[in-house]
């Protein structure tokens, strides 16, 4: 059976762990050559190696997503080495949770620079190639926190809500050239971060989820695959909530 992304090139930020790793593996499994981008070289190199071991194509590109010079250089390198970029997944994200009155300027900037500015930098760099191709898929990983807000996460909520507005604007701006832009808003997903909060906290979280369980990285990866492939070719400017019914 023909793979959905055969011959395509995908760039995934924050690919070294968690949701980003699941996305990179899923896109590679459907035939895409994946550029695994992330801040920690060992993490992105391990994911690229796992993909290659499974018979796929992947290359690791360590980069600080909040650094405009680094992003420009790495995108230029990816296009030179892989020939094109068909799919961009802006997944890189950090948290610096703190109550508003105690939040420092550094904690605010760290989250906005990675989660929102990083998406801007990569989208700007990659859109040049996509405009020449007159095709492309841009997928931004937001969060249900960007839709609902959350105490102690004003910086994170602002960054994820900003991604939604950014997504809709990009969809309007680039749509005439065959480029779609969409956002996915995950709910509570099993990652290293959720594992660190402890079993009791996880139990309390699941009480607010209609399906009664945390999501998996694979749940988000499947939504990304839909938007990245021809299956989602007429979907743009949308926010797809993948949260098991948390935000109902």
Taking the alpha carbons of 28, 156, 70, 68 in that order, is the dihedral positive or negative?
positive
SS3 134: coil
99 to 96, 147, 158, 205: CA distances (angstroms): 10, 19, 14, 20
Residues 227, 184 contacting (CB under 8 angstroms): yes
For residue 61, indicate whether it is catalytic. no
Residue 57, exposed/middle/buried by CB under 10 A (0-12, 13-18, 19+)? middle
DSSP secondary structure letters along 27-63? HHHTT-EEEEEES-HHHHHHHHHHHHHTT-EEEEEE-
Catalytic option among 61, 120, 122, 156? 156
Give the number of residues written for the chain: 248
Rounded Cα gap, residues 6 and 28, in angstroms: 9
Total Cβ atoms within 10 A of residue 100 = 11
- Separation CA 82–CA 85 (nearest Å): 8
d(Cα 133, Cα 113) in Å, to the nearest integer? Answer: 29
Which are the catalytic amino acids?
Answer: 156
């Amino acid at each position: 059976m023909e793979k959905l992304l055969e011959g395509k090139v995908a760039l995934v930020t924050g690919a070294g762990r968690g949701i980003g790793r699941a996305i990179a593996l899923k896109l590679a499994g459907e035939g895409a050559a994946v550029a695994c981008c992330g801040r920690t070289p060992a993490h992105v190199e391990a994911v690229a190696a796992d993909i290659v071991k499974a018979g796929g194509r992947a290359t690791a590109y360590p980069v600080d997503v909040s650094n405009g010079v680094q992003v420009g250089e790495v995108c230029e390198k990816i296009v030179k080495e892989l020939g094109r970029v068909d799919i961009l997944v802006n997944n890189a994200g950090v948290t610096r949770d703190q109550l508003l009155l105690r939040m420092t300027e550094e904690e605010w900037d760290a989250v906005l620079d990675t989660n929102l500015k990083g998406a801007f930098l990569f989208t700007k760099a990659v859109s040049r190639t996509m405009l020449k191709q007159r095709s492309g898929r841009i997928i931004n990983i937001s969060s249900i926190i960007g839709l609902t807000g959350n105490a102690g996460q004003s910086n994170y909520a602002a960054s994820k809500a900003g991604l939604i507005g950014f997504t809709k604007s990009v969809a309007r701006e680039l749509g005439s050239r065959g480029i779609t832009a969409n956002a996915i808003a995950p709910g509570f997903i099993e990652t290293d971060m959720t594992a660190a909060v402890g079993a009791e906290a996880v139990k309390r979280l699941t009480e607010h989820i209609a399906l009664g369980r945390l999501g998996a990285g694979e749940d988000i990866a499947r939504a990304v695959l839909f938007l990245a492939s021809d299956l989602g070719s007429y979907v743009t400017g949308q926010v797809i909530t993948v949260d098991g019914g948390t935000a109902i």
